[in-house]
Every structure is written in structure tokens, then in C-alpha cells.
A and B are shown apart, each in its own frame.
Chain A
Amino acid sequence: MTQLTLGPILFHWPAQQKIDFYARIADEAAIDTVYLGEVICSKRSPFFDKHYAEVTERLERGGKTVVFASLAEVMLKRERNMMAGFCEETDHMIEVNDTSGLWHLSGRPHMIGPLMNVYNEDTMAYLASKGATRFCLPPELPGTSVVVMCEHAKTLGVSIEVQVFGRSSLALSARCYHARAHGRIKDNCQFVCEEDPDGMPLDTLTGQRFLAINGIQTLSHTYLNLLPELSSLKAMGVSHFRLVPHTQDMVAVAQIYRDTLDAKTTADEAESKLAGLDIPAPFANGFWHGKAGHLRVQ
């Protein structure tokens, strides 16, 4: 049975916007698993910490499984403490996005997020032997390698997840590029990243749409769309299909992907429905085909 998942919200949305978003997901979306947590910036965490219990309950009442996703970059004492405390959670599975999570969780069941560098079967096997049960693969891993990962995952008894919609995470830095764009530094950012709920556009000097900035993270301008590839992903053994949350209608996006996975619609029909949702960028799937990530390979 294929599962549709909703990745963590990568951008800095106001707390009320997140609460409303998850309420609608809980009530209406054809999504099986929701990943909750601040992955990108530890400074943003306090804004939502007090709402997790309520949002988790709401999602679970809506029949969703909730997984907590960890911070992706752990440097400061405060972040180390956050990570340690986070890993004490026992009621929910944790998705690890920084190696420090492995230190805390080895020997206990956990999941591996797409910001961990798990590119091959040997690394997957090692982590599986220490308790990892699901691997969301890095965005740049080509299909030719995903198929190998799927074969080994079957032997190891673990599951494979692949992002199929939304901007692709391309890089992490210690520097906050949102703050830099506004002449500030990370410690004095004034949360300017809140102005760009799908990322801050970065264009080339010749006017080409290029990248999207989200604090310390750089993402693609293009939106990953693997609708045409879904049936082959399914055939090779990918069991979990991740949507990255954006401000576009994610309930509609989820339904399009669900219907395509269930073969209730053709990939072509699904594609034209998705195109009708005012996605503010071209679609791409280059990484999957072993080509430049910004390309759309037909």
C-alpha cells in the first residue's frame, strides 16, 4: 500500500497559518503521514512549540500518523539541547536530519530524513542495523540509484520514501541569506524570512529565475513534480511519497497525487490539474533522470 506523506513546513509561516493549515490537512487531505517540526532554523522554534500537542492531536484525530522531524543543522549549545530533548520523545517516531540525532537514537526505531546523506545501500544497511526503519532519500539521488536502494530495502525490511512535489532543498549554510539580503545577520534577523512563505526569489543578473532562499537553506526555483514517474517509483518499491508543503492548495495537490497513485487518473490528466493550481514556477524532474535538477525531462 502506497502512503502519501506531507513533509515538514520548511518556511517560516506564522503560527496561526500553520495551525489552520494542519487543521485543513487533518480534515480534508488524502495524506497518511504528516512530519511536524522546525527543520531549518532553531530561532523559529519558540513560535510554534506550544502548538505541537494540539496540532498533533488534531492530525491524529483526522487519521494521520504524526512523525517529528528534527533540526537539520546543530551547532550551538541551545540547538544541541533542543536535539537531545527532542530525541527523548517516545510517543512518536522521529525523523533525523542531522547526525547528532543518530548519537541520541541509535538502537531505537527512528527514520532518516532527506537532509541526511544516505546515498547508498551500505550506508542504509548500517543505519538500519541501528534502528532506522524508513529512509527519505536525498533529492539529488537519481532513479538508477533509487532502484538499487529499493531492492536492498526489501531485504533489510525498511521502507523508502521519495519527495515527489515541491521545491527541492539544494543547500544548507551556517549563514542566513534572508538576513543578509536585508543587511542583517542571523542573530539580528528580525525573522524577515516570514515575508517569503515559499522562499525568497533569487534571479540571475540576466533575469533568469534561479533559486529560492529560506534562511540558511537554498532551494530550487522549480517545483519538483514526479507525477509522470509515480508508476515506475511504485513498481520499483518506493512506498512513501512526500509532498513538500507550499502555500498553494496542498489538499488539492494531495488529491492529485493520491488519484495518480491509485490509477484513478492518468498522469497526463493529473499533470494538467496540477498546472491549474497556480504553481508559481516551472516543474522539474532532472535529478530523477540523472540530469541537471532544474530540467524537466519528458
Chain B
Amino acid sequence: MTSPELVCPAGTPAALRTAVDAGADAVYCGFQNATNARNFPGLNFTVPELERSVVYAHAHGTKVLLAMNTYPPAGKITLWKDAIDTGIRLGVDAFIVADIGVAHYIATNYPDARLHLSVQAAASNPESIRYYCQEFGVKRVVLPRILTVPEIRSLAAEVPCEIETFIFGNHGLMVEGRCSLTNYISGLSTNLDGVCSPAAQVEYIRDAAGNVSTQLGEFTIDCFGCSETAGYPTICKGRYTTPAHDDGYYAFEEPISLNLSPLLPELIDAGVHALKIEGRQRSKAYVKKVVSAFRKAVDDISSGQKAQLADLLALTEGQKETQGAFKSKTWR
């Protein structure tokens, strides 16, 4: 069995070194601006930081994938083109792109550069994927988190490129690249600005009895009793009311994380070439623990042994985990 590539998050230079040391085959990262979908304060790389990080990663045999996976709004695409030019100069191993204009720019100006299609492009069927492969020479697609393993297996047989799937981490409920809920509330866009539920607009409001309501902009995303831990107000993980649930319910999904470790052998057997761990916003300690655990699991499976995964549950959001759509279409 071929061993799949383990693709790990690097939100900072320190996290990048940690992921490399813990056995990542590839790390993905972005610049400190709107060109990537994790445009959070305190995250991401300056140009000199990325330059040093590429040298470090390459010295340890790890690839660096540059996330260029937001959509430039008309009139501002120069920022993306400059970032691409810089990435080429620094010798990154691939660009992760979503926008057709961005993909076309790379394919035209740097025909030898390797292109990965971001999950933000929401290519969920063989025809969409073939389109990007044919038009821009895309070499790998990161699949949306909406397909079951049997669906991935059948898709893998029909597309002319490698397949990457998420295996662990935050689990957004909307199709990536097709959600403007954050912009509706905050005026900052996930697709255009790389922002989801911006911290600057988050408030935790505690009442006299100790209950906490979490707010994003003007809207209440959830309310917690004094015995509960208030979660971060991500719109698709909030509680709301509707006529069938006048007491409030998780209309989209509970605060829950994706953990596909039980499905790893099946995923690898289905023809997945690369396994992606989410979490550029997470700590070095998190990166170390998760990457090390999955490194061992992938190596065990590849050598025909049963994977003994350390319990990763403690690291998941709200300590609840799911296999999402991957396990069964009943998720839908």
C-alpha cells in the first residue's frame, strides 16, 4: 500500500517547525493578509519568515504548500499576484488556490508551478474537478467535507489528479467557499477577506446569574447556563429557534470536531493521496500532539499494522467528535 502524504497546519513559523519535527510530509501556510482563508490576527507569515521556513522545511524533506485560497475582489487582485510571485521566488512546492483568475495567473505565468485546488473551490464532483485539471493543470484536489468514503472511492477512479481529504480538526457545516454568513453579520467576508467569525466582533455577555450569551456583531449566537462552558460564537455552531424548536437547537451542527482516525484505513484504501489536518489557528502543543499521532497511525497502516491512535478526543472542539459526512450519508 502506498503511504499517503500527511499535510499539516502551520499558522506560525514556530508551528511550522513543530509540524516538520513531528513528521509532517507537507505543511500548509499563508501570508499575513487576505490572500489566505485563515486571515486571523497573530497568524501567518511575513515574507522573511516564510523564506526561512521554506529553507527549514526543505532541509528536513518536508514540502511547503502556500494557501492562496481566497477570492480576490475586483480591483484588488494585485495583492494575490504579488503573493504568488513571492511564493515562486521563495520556492514553495505548491499553491493551494480556489479562484479561477488566480489559477489562470499561475498556470499562465508559472507553468511549472504545482497547483492544488483548495477545498474553498467546492469541487464536489468529477466534472468540476476535471474542469480545473484540464484548464489549469491542477495536480491535486482537496475535497469538500461533504462526501462519504464510498463516494470518495468512486470519485478517485474518475479524476485525473490526486485527492486530499481532511481527517481532523474544525468542522464547518457549510460547503467551504460557499458561505457568506460571517459577512452578513460582520461586514468581513470569508471568501474575500479570509475571515470567519472575527474575534474583534465577538463578545461574551454575562448576566447577574452567571449565564453567558455569546455575540457576533449584533447577533446572539448562543447562550450558556452558569454550569456550561461558553463556546466561541461560530455562526454554524450556534443555537437558534424556529417554529419547530421554540426552545432553541443547533440548527446547523453542534460544536463538534472532525476526527476520521477510525476511518483512516478505509480512506487510504479508497485512493486518497493526502490526509489533511486542520488547525492553523491552534497552538504548537496541539500541532505536535496531533501530527505525531497521525504520523504513527499512517506509518502503522502503511506497514500493514493496526493503527493505535492516541486518544485525540481531548483536543477536539467541545470534546465532541464526529466523522461527519464521511461515515454515512445520514449526516446530510
Contacts and interface: CB of A to CB of B under 8 A. Distances in A.
What DSSP secondary structure best describes chain B's contact surface?
Answer: mixed
Interface in A203-257: 203-206, 208, 210-211, 213, 218, 220
A155 interface: no
Contact of A173 (B74, B173, B184): B173
Contacts of B105: 122
Contact of B128 (A99, A180, A202): A99
Given A182-B244, A293-B180, A121 B125 contact: no
B74 A171 contact: no
A175 to B, nearest CB: 5
Contacts of A146: 74
Interface residues of A, number: 73
A176 B248 CA distance: 18
A238 B184 CA distance: 23
B127 A213 contact: no
Contacts of B251: 177, 180-181, 202, 213
A187 B332 contact: yes
A174 B219 CA distance: 25
Contacts of B303: none
Contact of B174 (A98, A126, A172): A172
Interface residues of B, number: 74
A204 B219 contact: yes
A80 B127 contact: yes
Contacts of B253: 175
Interface of B: 71-77, 98-102, 104-105, 121-128, 130-132, 134-135, 144, 146-147, 151, 173-175, 177-181, 183-187, 189, 191-192, 213, 217-223, 236, 238-245, 248-249, 251-253, 325, 329-332
Interface of A: 73-75, 79-80, 83-84, 98-100, 102-104, 106, 115, 117-127, 138-142, 144-146, 148-149, 152, 168, 170-177, 180-182, 185-187, 200-206, 208, 210-211, 213, 218, 220, 286-287, 290-295
